[in-house]
Chains A and B, each alone.
Chain A
Amino acid sequence: MDVTAKTDFIGKDSPAASERPAIFTRPTTKTGIVSWLTTVDHKRIGLLYGVSALIFFLVGGAEALLIRLQLAVPNNTLLSSHAYNEMFTMHATTMIFLAIMPLSAAFFNYIMPLQIGARDVAFPRLNGFAYWLFLAGAIILNVGWFIKSGVPDVGWFGYAPLTSKAFSNTFATDISTDLWVMGLQVLGVSSVIGSLNFIVTIINLRAPGMTMMRLPVFTWMTLFTAFMIVLSFPAITIALVGLMMDRQFGANFFEVSNGGLPILWQHLFWVFGHPEVYILILPAMGIISEVLPCFSRKPLFGYPIVVFSGAVIGTLGFGVWSHHMFTTGMGTMATAAFALATMAIAVPTGVKIFNWIGTIWGGQLQMRTPMMFALGFVWTFMIGGFSGVMHAAAPADAQQQDSYFVVAHFHYVLIGGSLFALLAGIHYWFPLIFGRKVSEFWGKLSFWIIFIGFNVTFFPMHFLGLNGMPRRTFTYDGNMGWNSANLIATIGAIILGIGIAVYFVTMVYTYYKGQRVGRDPWNARTLEWSIQNPPPEYNFAVIPTVHARDAFWYEKHHQAEIAEEQAAHAKAEEAHGGIHMPSQSWFPFLTAMAILTGSLFFADHNFLGAICAAVGIVAFAYLWAWEGPGGYHLHLDKDGNVIDPKKGGHSTH
């Protein structure tokens, strides 16, 4: 596939700026707030995702600390039951939809195009739209903090009929559940749009020679995750639309008094909800599969099997949803089928762990901070995996379901799994993104505090659950044998909080004052490290040609051959008109803001406002279509600096 041959027809028919109506003037500023609002650069969008996700991560963490403080001692009165219920609802919703998923999306956006040798994603404006929609959904979910209704308190799973008007709301005018419904729908649209973009990008924009079986594993996991999002979010969207109809227009999808079926909600929710678990963990597995080979100085052990097991997890992940419903009285046959399917999914997951161990076996392990987080991931993810297998034994699960044992299990998977990997990823790619390297001392210190705090918090919860403590309870009596484990968990949560604080303070410090590093500080193996840091707007001065699986490792060991090849390609690309870049646009941002306004009006039962906003959505979408894809060409001088055609001079990067 010759990417260079394609670049000349994209944007060829865009008329010159002077011939177009003023409304279609594309912003060209590269600094300041407008440049961020109108950006289509996948790296900038990735940063927006990352920073937003980290802010929401801190919000969700604060909610978690309040939960743990309330449960530190029996019969505590720090939070009222209503406030506690709001906290655990928002903690879960925030961490899943506003922290872990967008943090993964940040890496998809930033790293994946670089790993496949692309200059941007396939649909740059759509990419911006996905981010602004994510922000809109996050605002809708959190707007409750500032209004009388408060934030949602129905649990992140929103089981019907607790979400119906008759039960969830103390006040007739309480719109917290409506905000939850609208917020999740908007987030779903954002995720699906982003994922379609990633799928098209990975399939179509790979550099020459980057065959599918040469894709870095992180890119593979991006692809699987994107497919899972595209296939699973429709299920929850259907459920949410039904609930929205129930609440807004008196429909009866889940309205028990009219014959609605609450169990239908559970099936629809978990058809989404279980793939969602893998949506959270597959990107993490991808990051681990990048970090371990890099710091072992060896290729990934059993690459095809790791990729294939990712595919198997992605597929089987759609067939095990009812293990969240073992106690709903599904009957023997369905329970047995889902129990066995759940056990089966342990095989591809175990295979990944074997392959990671195989990767470090015989390597030269460099114990840098990302490696520490990656090894910590393998340990804690193993424990989370084993408690997962215990849940698959359905009769035993009847005791564990909705107890603290489950809380322990999924925090081992989501913190010890997803979060550790994402923290490893931030550490690993920080030098690439910002050109500065994080201090090893502070990095390792934060790792150990986080690792210890995490285990002290969540290991005792296994005992709590088996000792009969149910989840989602704002208080407990002192005579149940739960006091000491709860106190220890709270102490652990404070330690974990300190560790996270150390981690982020270190990152912020490094961003401003950290030690500058040159290209490829880790001696890494994949293409994103072949470019200068921070990466220039156009990513690759010359689209690389890929000859082997660890493309950059190959380049480093065949430098003469690669230099010759790149010179030829640079010439060819210049002959085609230079480096083609997408134009910035206002419309993704404006359309998303219209959707935000409309959703807020709709949640507040203000249909006139919602209709006005809908007109805005349609108008902006049309203008977006009419404005055309746009695009312009860049020309580089010998040092890789952009030649500014107006000034004839150089703008530096």
Chain B
Amino acid sequence: MTFPSFLRLPARRACQALAVACLPLFTGGWIYGPQSTFQTEGPVAKAQLDLFYVTLWVCTIIFIVVGSVLAYATLKFKANDNDPEREPPEQSHGNPLVEISLIGASIMALVIIAVPTVHGIWYSYDVPEAEKANAYEVNATGYQWWFKFEYPKEQIDGSGNLLTANELVIPAGRPVRVNLRTIDVIHSFWVPKLAGKVDMIPNRGNFLWLQADNPGYFWGQCAEYCGESHAVMRFRVIALSESDFNAWLANQKNPARKAGSLFAGAIDQPRIQFASYTYEKQKRNAPGWSEAFDQQPFAAWKKQQEITVDDNLELVAQGRKLFQEKTCVGCHTIRGHEGIGITGPDLTHVGARTTIAGGLLENTPQNLHRWLVEPNEVKPGNKMWFGGYMARNDAGQWTPTFTINDNEARALVAYLHSLK
């Protein structure tokens, strides 16, 4: 096949691109990834995958059989001439015996799928009876466009239940029952490697159960269209061994860390005058992940828990002050500090999370800076921003009031990252 000369280069490029793109098909690249349903890490996802394989095999076998007959018939009965005068074939009208046997065979094939389906429906619905006593319970609530996680068994004196956002930490090797609620529209809770999705529907008490067999770091994503930033409503599940989990809980129950005194004048050992990163403006939708994180996400999460020693205390204090002045406190809780709002994610230990902006960006100073300076480029339609950060005016109406400049962002980054 020859292309006209002006098409030759684009055509060759297209063929090359196609070849390169097809290559991963043969190495498993198309079915393995952070949200692959083929790489299961827990019994629920495993049961669902096993059922999928049953349907796949039954369908594939029928497809091969029926397809072969169809292909054979097409080739065998193809007329070599289109002569309308030619004697037409026998005008046969059907064969009841063939019909009945094929209907019977179809029903048999469906029974092979139906039996494990019914079994799977009951199994994946709720924690098995025998395991109920061992199950851990968490509440997940969908917001446009982030997830709130609540630990009803972990009480904090004077503050109700332990809350966190966008990163659900669970004990490994134990069934976890997740109660699913939503504050606004319908969302759906989906961690493909652990379990299929269940929707979070207003005025409806849904739940699911999942279990991570081993400690690990898992990707999750909202799976029901929920408005402008549905695509970037993501979250993580981190499964920890029993002891790590308890240690994590203990730290989370603590109020927010105080990196230094509140006022710059009282800082005894100012070390670094400016935050040690450079920030460049990013393109809309630009990815927010480093190679190192992608390869070892669980290790990155563990590292994120460590308290860094080089807090710039002056900047941290500035940031804490800005957090009040810029009215962030109205929507975000920072337990033990000034924040008391409940409409945005709890930020008490935000520095210890691997992600920000609803699981969208890696929690690096640059990314946090970007998120603070131009949130709408990162997450269009987010509730903080409407042509400017929203605040109430004197009449009590929400209006776009201010933006955050580079220097303010650096202070806020230093403050938020000190909250381990």
> Nearest Cβ in chain B — how far from A229, in angstroms?
26
A479 in contact with B289 (CB, 8 Å): yes
* Chain A interface extent, by class: 35 or more
Stretch at the interface among B16-24, B266-274, B321-329, B400-408: B16-24
A81 in contact with B221 (CB, 8 Å): no
> Nearest Cβ in chain A — how far from B154, in angstroms?
25
A476 in contact with B225 (CB, 8 Å): no
Closest to B88 in A: A297
List of B residues within 8 angstroms of A58 by Cβ: none
* B84 interface residue (CB < 8 Å to A): yes
* B313 interface residue (CB < 8 Å to A): no
Closest to B83 in A: A364
Closest to B14 in A: A491
Contact pattern, B 95-136, Cβ under 8 Å of A = 1, otherwise 0: 100110011001100100110111011111100000000000
List of B residues within 8 angstroms of A299 by Cβ: 91-93
A327 in contact with B78 (CB, 8 Å): no
A395 in contact with B51 (CB, 8 Å): yes
> Nearest Cβ in chain A — how far from B243, in angstroms?
30
- Interface residues in A157-212 by Cβ distance below 8 A to B read 159, 161-162, 166-168, 170
Which of B45, B70, B224, B289 contacts A402, CB < 8 Å? B224
A481 in contact with B30 (CB, 8 Å): yes
Contact pattern, A 341-375, Cβ under 8 Å of B = 1, otherwise 0: 00110110011011101101111111100000001
List of A residues within 8 angstroms of B124 by Cβ: 395, 398
B30 in contact with A460 (CB, 8 Å): yes
Stretch at the interface among A258-266, A420-428, A594-602: A258-266
Closest to B184 in A: A167
A355 to B73, CA, bound (A): 13
List of B residues within 8 angstroms of A75 by Cβ: 283, 285-287
Stretch at the interface among B58-66, B250-258, B366-374, B412-420: B58-66
> Nearest Cβ in chain B — how far from A331, in angstroms?
8
B34 in contact with A167 (CB, 8 Å): no
List of B residues within 8 angstroms of A350 by Cβ: 102, 106
Contact pattern, B 223-261, Cβ under 8 Å of A = 1, otherwise 0: 111111111100000000000000000000000000000
A393 in contact with B92 (CB, 8 Å): no
> Nearest Cβ in chain A — how far from B200, in angstroms?
9
* A430 interface residue (CB < 8 Å to B): no
Stretch at the interface among A21-29, A125-133, A301-309, A631-639: A301-309
- Interface residues in B67-93 by Cβ distance below 8 A to A read 67, 69-70, 73-74, 77-79, 82, 84, 86, 88-93
* B217 interface residue (CB < 8 Å to A): no
* B305 interface residue (CB < 8 Å to A): no
> Nearest Cβ in chain A — how far from B119, in angstroms?
9
> Nearest Cβ in chain B — how far from A524, in angstroms?
11
Which of B33, B82, B95, B224 contacts A358, CB < 8 Å? B95
A347 in contact with B121 (CB, 8 Å): no
A351 in contact with B103 (CB, 8 Å): yes
Which of A329, A340, A347 contacts B206, CB < 8 Å? A329
Name 28 interchain pairs, CB-CB below 8 A, sorted by A.
A159-B225, A162-B185, A262-B202, A297-B88, A299-B93, A327-B197, A332-B121, A332-B122, A339-B117, A339-B121, A343-B117, A347-B103, A351-B99, A351-B106, A364-B77, A366-B79, A382-B63, A389-B113, A393-B120, A396-B48, A396-B51, A398-B196, A399-B197, A401-B197, A466-B36, A468-B221, A471-B223, A487-B21
B interface list, Cβ under 8 A from A: 14, 17-18, 20-25, 29-38, 45, 47-49, 51-52, 54-56, 58-60, 62-63, 66-67, 69-70, 73-74, 77-79, 82, 84, 86, 88-95, 98-99, 102-103, 106-107, 110, 113-114, 116-118, 120-125, 144, 180, 184-186, 188, 190, 192, 195-199, 201-204, 206-207, 219, 221-232, 283-287, 289, 294, 380-381, 386
